[in-house]
Amino acid sequence: LVRKIAAEHGVEIGAMRGSGIQGRVTKRDIEQYLASGAAATAGQRPSMHAPAGAATHGPAPEPWAGDRVEPMSKIRALTSDHMVASRHTNAHVTSFFEIDLTRIARIRHKNRAAFEAQTGQKLTYLPFIIKTVVDTLKQFPVLNAAVAGNSIIYRKQYNIGIAVALDWGLIVPVIKGADDLSLSGLTKNLNDLADRARTKRLKPEEVQQATFTITNPGVFGSLMGTPIIPLGTSAILGLGAIEKRPKVITGPDGEDTIAIRTCAYFSLSFDHRIVDGADADRFLAAVKAGLESFPETAL
């Protein structure tokens, strides 16, 4: 039964840490693995084993007097395996852009009370970003793709994974068919998935089949980072802290003035095996342009 479930979901049992007798993988291990979001769909998930010639682990560190030693939680062990496999598989490169979110801030401030009254949802920056990213992915399909041997799979669906940091680990629920959702629809889906992630009520299929991922370390104050690409995808976007900064603005008359603007750094990690640096930068430039000219009518 365990092998059947693993085969259906494209999970390599040999790459997992089992909790059964003599380290055997149990049905519960498989279910927790799927619910953690670490597994990709069958047929798209690369081998978890490091390629030939990859660096191997040295001797395990020994605890010193007074140290506290505790085993990794199941989700921490799964996350560890997934991150190492991604670094061994994907050719990681990260590009950074500063985005002016002043227009989004003004639209949000002007409409948030009416939006909340109408939908029952709080209007945050993230749905604006998701919508702009999805629209831009249509122009750059290689960033909504996956490597399969010597072939590239261009995904028809736009399924956006949203990394959610929890006290017990990291989980990535997926907004399926994000290109079919309005701003209010994205907000509703985003809040629902995040709430159920925090209460451990997500279904395994709700953390699978992401085609592009967004992570938001900016909520903790981080300005920028180099996120690791989830296996089975070609890119991940990291959002830095949204802050007010002094910026030089050139007016229509060519004169420069200093103004206070709401800005954030966006970090795009991409798989250089199939994504050229120029395309990654063009993608970020298009996201920047889309956010800085976001139509208020999209509400």
Looking at domain 92-298, which of 3.40.50.620, 3.30.559.10, 2.40.110.10, 3.40.50.2000 is its CATH number? 3.30.559.10
pTM over 0.75: yes
Token representation of residue 231: 């296996």
Q: How far apart are CA 149 and CA 143, in angstroms?
A: 17
Distance between CA atoms of residues 73 and 60, nearest Å: 18
Label residue 103 exposed, middle or buried (CB < 10 Å: 0-12, 13-18, 19+).
middle
Q: Is position 49 annotated as part of the catalytic site?
A: no
Whole-number pLDDT of residue 50:
44
The reply to whether 109 belongs to the active site is: no
CA distance 262 to 105: 7
What CA–CA distance (Å, rounded) separates 269 from 255? 36
What element of type H or E holds 247? strand 243-250
CB atoms within 10 A of CB 226: 13
∠ CA 253-259-260 to the nearest 5 degrees?
A: 155
Active-site position among 92, 135, 272, 281: 272
**pLDDT of the chain, 299 residues: tens digit per residue:** 666 666 655 565 555 666 666 567 777 676 666 655 554 433 344 444 444 444 455 688 999 999 999 999 888 898 899 899 999 999 999 999 999 999 999 999 999 999 999 999 999 999 999 999 999 999 999 999 999 999 999 999 999 999 999 888 889 999 999 999 999 999 999 999 999 999 999 999 999 999 999 999 999 999 999 999 999 999 999 999 999 999 999 999 999 999 999 999 999 999 999 999 999 999 999 999 999 999 998 88
| Of 49, 180, 195, 276, catalytic | 276
Q: What pLDDT does 25 receive?
A: 73
Q: Would you list the domain boundaries of the chain?
A: 92-298
CB of 163 closer than 8 Å to CB of 233: no
